[in-house]
Amino acid sequence: MLPGIDGFEICHRLRSEPQTAQLPILMLSAKAQEIDKATGFKVGADDYLTKPADPLEILSRVETLLAQKAAARSQIITFLGSKGGVGTTTIVANTAIALAQTGKQVIILDLCPHGGNIAEHLGLKPECTIAELLAKPIDTIDRCDLEAVLVVHHTGVRVLAMPQPSDIDLLFERLREVTDYLLVDLPFQLSDVTRVVLTKCDLIIIVTDSEADALPSVKHAATLLHLLGISQERMGAVVVDREGMFPEWELSKIKPTVELNIGVSLLGIIPYDTKTSFELVPGSPPVILSNPNCPMTWSIRGVAQHIMGEKINNKDSSYAREKEHEQR
């Protein structure tokens, strides 16, 4: 019953704007009929309380909404190459797009020493500099500051490439406010910042290849992570099969054997062949866009499904691979 624009319209507009879409909304109104409550929920209210309301009940409702928001906080997923040149950046870029294609908001934080690799892989040319952002204390950075330096891919994936900041905790909290998934491309070089990133993230994905020393390198990385206090449940591994060691094997068949050797969960085997290898050249369209039904793409989608906590549909994946084989 506000003049000009009523509360229902305000609620609708809050839900329509990216900056406020995720805010918890408690509607407090003298309009107590069931149709009013139904309208409030329809336009996006999380809760509806009628006047007169007891202050203690208002506080209780607010605390409940804040607790629900905390429980639904964004996930931080760190990708860690067990060694250089295994294709970690490519996996990060394509996995981010796979998540974005499901309607999720995704930000990639590139913390590699020289930065810009992710943007280059996605064919992006940042127009804004982060110098001004880095000059500000992180605790003063707001949503507008972040939005100004995020580079947006046409799939909706946003990228922030920057040197490793000293106050990574606060940066994570700021980024959590504007995304569902924060994917971090992190070099495996122990430093104070690296240690903080690894201990704060929800899942660490160790990326390796299929060469002879691949599985031992994953086990070595997992051991180091364990020494940092990271539990096995927060680790996973992805194998980029450059050598064609597992051309026809399904993940479910080889999974137990590989996991026995590396000591962490195997999230996916990414097949690599000459037909799709040119897609990995920086600046070329990511393979998930240029070749959406190839085995490599389906394997990457499987990794994205695991991140979202969904059951991987091996039947659909196998069907796609059969169709790809027929096309060849």
Helix axis angle, 88-100 to 295-307, nearest 10° = 70
Whether pLDDT at 104 is above 50: yes
Residue 43 domain boundaries: 7-71
The reply to whether 1 falls in a domain is: no
- 44 shares its domain with 107: no
| Same-domain check for residues 190 and 127 | yes
Angle, helix 168-176 to helix 192-200, in steps of 10 degrees: 40
What local confidence, expressed as pLDDT, does residue 215 receive? 81
Q: What is the mean pLDDT of residues 23-45?
A: 92
The tens digit of pLDDT for each residue in 255-291 reads 888 888 888 999 988 887 555 554 456 567 888 998 8
Q: Which CATH number covers residue 27? A: 3.40.50.2300
Same domain, 20 and 111: no
- Total domains present in the chain: 2
What per-residue confidence (pLDDT) applies to 77? 95
Instruction: Write down the pTM of the prediction.
Output: 0.71
What is the dihedral angle through the alpha carbons of 111, 201, 93, 263, rounded to the nearest 10 degrees?
110
Whether 18 and 151 share a structural domain: no
Please name the residues in contact with 164: beta carbons below 8 A apart, sequence gap of 6 or more: 111, 113, 191, 193, 194
> How far is 62 from 57, CA to CA, in rounded Å?
9
pLDDT in tens, 139-188: 677 777 777 788 899 999 999 887 666 677 777 877 887 888 999 998 77
- Percentage of the residues of the chain whose pLDDT score is greater than 70: 79
Answer yes or no: do 49 and 82 share one domain.
Answer: no
Of the segments 5-9, 86-90, 190-194, which one has the largest average pLDDT value?
5-9
